[in-house]
């Protein structure tokens, strides 16, 4: 059964056809993305006969939860079922002043970063635009979240390398930001990349796009090549050049993410080299002390070392230490791997 989530208004018009396709397409679009209906029978603005006809051929297409894991800090990690039987992970991180939904762009990941559990899966396939948007709709409906609130944030930092699925990521972004639909501000959507240089330039040419975050994680070419084999194809020097050429909007900064690995990339000398790499960019740095997991051959640095690293970078640009969320259920950054961990909660 073909899912409707992921279709833009023009595609719904073409699908419906008929003399009233513009009017009916807008009603259906509103029901899918603004009202977030659970099934086509709930689209009460459409005639009953049309609802029945659509229900025979189409489904809403929002994924269902196979399992939910709850952390002691309030983080919820969902294992969601896709139409083909595969599963993908989505995480909600509620905080006092904001709610962040961390969504996936691929099933698994082809980028073999040595400190990430998702990398151990390899890549199964890209997600469709509907499967990307569907994760957000699922969490918003399950938790009663409002897109027009300043609390709402979406980060494409779950499973996958988003820029290797750029067409679907961009279509999903258009749907997520459309004021006639879900209406999340582009300022509140971030996509994270390991550094796919040609796709960074392609992203920058788009009128509707999320904010860009780059996973740096090393201060030298040699160090980054060891930690992130993608650097063998896309070199650090060229990545920095692509970041300098990236067309930032007036309100925007580039974000650089740096996973600190104890005794590997966390020295004061590393911090000074990071400043040298980023010093001439309009940027900020998010530091992430390694979130440990089975099969990851690195250690989490001591808090004192993380603080020292931050202090050096803060002399040149904004630098923040990202608070780990959901470690006890393997929901923290770099930990998603469809693991049976934490407290399983019955979902219905």
9-46 pLDDT per residue, tens: 999 999 998 777 889 999 999 999 999 999 999 999 99
Question: Does residue 325 carry a pLDDT above 80?
Answer: no
Provide the 10 A C-beta neighbour count for residue 287.
Answer: 22
Position 212 confidence tier, pLDDT thresholds 50, 70, 90:
very high
Q: Which residues contact 6 (CB under 8 A, 6 or more apart)?
A: 61, 128, 129, 130, 131, 132, 133, 134, 171, 172, 175
- The answer to whether the beta carbons of residues 218 and 176 sit under 8 Å apart is no
Question: Does residue 345 carry a pLDDT above 90?
Answer: no
Position 346 confidence tier, pLDDT thresholds 50, 70, 90:
very low
Length of the chain: 348
Which residues are identified as catalytic?
89, 333
Give the pLDDT score at 342.
39
Of the CA atoms within 13 Å of residue 343, those in its CB half-sphere come to 9
Average pLDDT over residues 319-329: 77
Mean pLDDT of the chain: 90
Average pLDDT over residues 54-60: 94
pTM across the whole model = 0.93
Of 105, 101, 96, the C-alpha closest to 153 is 101
Position 326 confidence tier, pLDDT thresholds 50, 70, 90:
low
Position 344 confidence tier, pLDDT thresholds 50, 70, 90:
very low
Of 345, 323, 348, the C-alpha closest to 77 is 345
Give the pLDDT score at 341.
40
Question: Does residue 348 carry a pLDDT above 60?
Answer: no
To the nearest whole percent, how much of the chain has pLDDT over 70?
A: 93
Residue, of 148 and 297, whose pLDDT is higher: 297
Question: Does residue 138 carry a pLDDT above 80?
Answer: yes
**Residue appearing with tokens 């950054």:** 333
Of 29, 34, 2, the C-alpha closest to 13 is 29
Position 297 confidence tier, pLDDT thresholds 50, 70, 90:
confident
φ, ψ at 276 (rounded to 5°): -65, -35
Helices assigned H by DSSP within the chain = 9-16, 21-29, 48-57, 129-143, 166-177, 197-204, 221-227, 236-245, 268-278, 303-314
Question: Does residue 58 carry a pLDDT above 70?
Answer: yes
Angle at 104 between CA 98 and CA 109, to 5 degrees: 140
pLDDT in tens, 143-181: 999 887 778 999 999 999 999 999 999 999 999 999 999
- The answer to whether the beta carbons of residues 115 and 296 sit under 8 Å apart is yes
Position 122 confidence tier, pLDDT thresholds 50, 70, 90:
confident
pLDDT in tens, 327-342: 665 544 554 555 544 3
Position 113 confidence tier, pLDDT thresholds 50, 70, 90:
confident
């Amino acid at each position: 059964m073909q899912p409707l989530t992921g279709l833009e208004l023009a595609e719904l018009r073409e699908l419906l056809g008929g003399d009233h396709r513009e009017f009916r397409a807008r009603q259906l679009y509103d029901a899918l993305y603004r009202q977030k209906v659970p099934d086509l029978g709930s689209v009460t603005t459409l005639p009953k006969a049309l609802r029945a006809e659509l229900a025979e051929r189409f489904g809403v297409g929002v994924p269902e939860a196979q399992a939910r894991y709850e952390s002691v800090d309030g983080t919820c990690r969902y294992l969601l079922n896709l139409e083909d039987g595969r599963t993908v992970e989505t995480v909600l991180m509620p905080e006092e002043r904001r709610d962040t939904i961390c969504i996936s762009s691929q099933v698994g990941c082809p980028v073999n970063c040595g400190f990430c559990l998702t990398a151990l899966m390899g890549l199964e396939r890209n997600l469709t635009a509907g499967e990307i948007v569907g994760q957000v709709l699922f969490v918003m409906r399950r938790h009663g979240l409002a897109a027009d609130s300043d609390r709402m944030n979406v980060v494409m930092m779950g499973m996958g390398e988003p820029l290797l699925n750029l067409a679907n990521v961009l279509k999903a972004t258009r749907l997520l930001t459309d004021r006639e639909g879900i209406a999340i501000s582009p300022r509140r959507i971030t996509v994270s990349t390991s550094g796919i240089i040609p796709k960074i330039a392609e992203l920058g040419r788009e009128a509707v796009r999320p904010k860009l975050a780059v996973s740096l994680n090393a201060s030298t070419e040699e160090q980054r090549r060891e930690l992130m084999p993608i650097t063998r194809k896309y070199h650090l020097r060229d990545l920095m050049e692509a970041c300098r050429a990236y067309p930032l909007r007036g309100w925007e900064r580039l974000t650089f993410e740096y996973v600190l690995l104890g005794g590997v990339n966390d020295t004061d000398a590393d911090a000074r080299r990071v400043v040298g790499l980023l010093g001439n960019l309009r940027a900020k740095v998010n530091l992430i002390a390694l979130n440990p997991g089975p099969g990851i051959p690195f250690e989490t640095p001591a808090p004192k070392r993380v603080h020292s690293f931050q202090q050096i970078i803060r002399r040149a640009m904004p630098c923040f230490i990202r608070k780990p969320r959901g470690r006890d259920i393997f929901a923290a950054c770099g930990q998603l791997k469809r693991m049976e961990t934490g407290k399983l909660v019955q979902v219905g």
